[in-house]
Amino acid sequence: MAQQNDTFKKVIAHAKEYGFVFPSSEIYDGLSAVYDYGQNGAALKNNIRAYWWQAMTQMNQNIVGIDAAIFMHPTTWKASGHVDAFNDPLIDNKDSKKRYRADVLVEDYVGKLDVKIEKEVKKAAKRFGDSFDKAQFLDTNPRVLKYKETGDAILKRLGKSLENEDLADVKALIEELEIACPESGSKNWTDVKQFNLMFGTQLGASAESAMDLYLRPETAQGIFVNFLNVQKTGRMKLPFGIAQTGKAFRNEIVARQFIFRMREFEQMEMQFFIPPGTQQHWYEHWKETRLKWHLALGLGEDNYRFHDHEKLAHYADAASDIEFKFPFGFKELEGIHSRTDFDLGSHEKFAGKKLQYFDPEQNKSYVPYVLETSVGLDRLFLAVFSNALQEETLEDGSSRTVLKLPAPLAPTKVAVLPLVKKDGLPEVARKIIEDLKWDMTTAYDEKDAVGRRYRRQDALGTPFCVTVDHQTLEDQTVTLRSRDSMEQERVSIAELRMRLSDQVSISSLLRSL
């Protein structure tokens, strides 16, 4: 745990020091769970968004993208169920006065059992060496089975209590498990209460004419209310999808863990409209497709797992999360929900307008079912960034901090460095940048010894450095240095663009899907 905390602290410090993520309005001491992206963070975030957008709208002829407003008619949130049901169960500790999500306290308790299982696996792997069979060990070791059984039973009970709105049982569970306040160690808890997560605001100039609005807590509703607009104007046939990226707002009770849980964040959501009865097929399809999309980033297969929901949201008939191993353990990265016809059906009722599709094959009209994929851009940023940040010990015993971002996502793809600031080398370096800048992001750096400049680019995640030296003036070649292998090779200037552009382009990721 202490090591996890340490790693996470390094991630946060590195993000700030190198211009990726700053606390919001820092000169006023920041705003809780709100963050700003700096010059490198904005670029990394744009690249992640582009990878998602292109994978959805460019790679699929039947998925189109929209950009709906953040403000929506307030009845939207009545129809979607958010006014009545978008609540989190909160609990206060009477001694520390700290507020927690009751379900998260229980889930963290189960998370500790998972850590114990991991420890057992590590111990056994050491004991059995090469002959260790992890799958068999997990299926048969009595201690592991006990931890798993206990964890499953706790989560099942929690799911049931939340589904039945039995908040007294959630409190009873916390007391039975003897869960203490993480800050103070006190077990003196209040009752569990529901808390609505939407932020309210007002539209209109005078108090009398003002209309109460909400900042959208998910982007999905902007897609639902535009379903017929897009279907008709795009002459879309089922099955088809509408994709959108944009800001969402939630007044989270517990907002810690940096950009993992924010009050203002960005979602990338896709609603896939399908004929009723086909939802099981599309649910499996999108689970597999989305996992593949994540795996193409190369962050390691073992860092992902599915978590099928016991407790379903008010709109879903099946739901699964893709979880990622963050520095603080496995947590939700993306949700895949089979949303039935709940949203369109409900908007039909509240708006008094038909939201139906005429199916020429079945010769009838119906409200389509919906399969949703929803991933948090900031969470994905954290997954990519924390996985990429590494401390390496080099052959000569020295160490380097390197941010091994997937090359197509890196803020700067290539840094061009004149070996010295004279003899015409800066001019050649600038000319190389002029040639490359049409195809990739570049940086110029002439300060300090070249070794230090390499380290600086390593820490920023720049996958390639090009060094211009005196030999360049004679034979038009440069040194091309790779961030990950640190290997250097001599390459002609004329070849550079060809050598680099494919490796650093988003299409290289798309091609591997």
Least Å from the CB of residue 401 to ligand GAP: 26
CA distances from 188 to 95, 179, 184 (A): 7, 10, 10
- Of the pair 375, 465, the CB lying nearest ligand GAP is at 375
Q: Which helix (H) or strand (E) holds 422?
A: none
Q: Alpha-carbon distance 511 to 513, whole Å?
A: 6
- Of the pair 90, 443, the CB lying nearest ligand GAP is at 90
Q: Alpha-carbon distance 359 to 507, whole Å?
A: 35
Q: What is the CA radius of gyration of the chain?
A: 26
Least Å from the CB of residue 33 to ligand GAP: 8
Q: Alpha-carbon distance 507 to 501, whole Å?
A: 10
- Of the pair 218, 446, the CB lying nearest ligand GAP is at 218
Q: Alpha-carbon distance 423 to 135, whole Å?
A: 62
Q: Which helix (H) or strand (E) holds 150?
A: helix 142-163
Q: With contact defined as beta carbons under 8 Å apart, do 406 and 384 qualify? A: yes
Least Å from the CB of residue 61 to ligand GAP: 24
Give the Cβ contact number of residue 240 at 10 Å.
20
Residue 271, beta-bridge partner list: 242, 372
Helix ranges (DSSP H) in 251-359: 279-295, 342-351
Least Å from the CB of residue 311 to ligand GAP: 12
Least Å from the CB of residue 57 to ligand GAP: 18
Say which amino acid occupies 38: G
- Of the pair 325, 379, the CB lying nearest ligand GAP is at 379
- Of the pair 269, 446, the CB lying nearest ligand GAP is at 269
Q: Alpha-carbon distance 222 to 246, whole Å?
A: 10
- Of the pair 284, 332, the CB lying nearest ligand GAP is at 332
Least Å from the CB of residue 331 to ligand GAP: 9
| Residue 368, φ and ψ in degrees, nearest 5 | -65, 155
Residues of the shown chain interacting with ligand GAP in the complex, contacts defined by CB under 6 A: 218, 220, 250, 252, 261-262, 265, 267, 269, 332-335, 372, 374-376, 378-379
Half-sphere exposure of 212 (CA within 13 A, CB side): 7
CB proximity list for 85: less than 8 A, separation 6 or greater = 314
Least Å from the CB of residue 124 to ligand GAP: 33
Least Å from the CB of residue 335 to ligand GAP: 4
- Of the pair 220, 409, the CB lying nearest ligand GAP is at 220
- Of the pair 269, 469, the CB lying nearest ligand GAP is at 269
- Of the pair 66, 433, the CB lying nearest ligand GAP is at 66
- Determine the residue with CB nearest ligand GAP: 376
Q: Alpha-carbon distance 375 to 336, whole Å?
A: 9
Least Å from the CB of residue 92 to ligand GAP: 20
| Residue 152, φ and ψ in degrees, nearest 5 | -60, -40
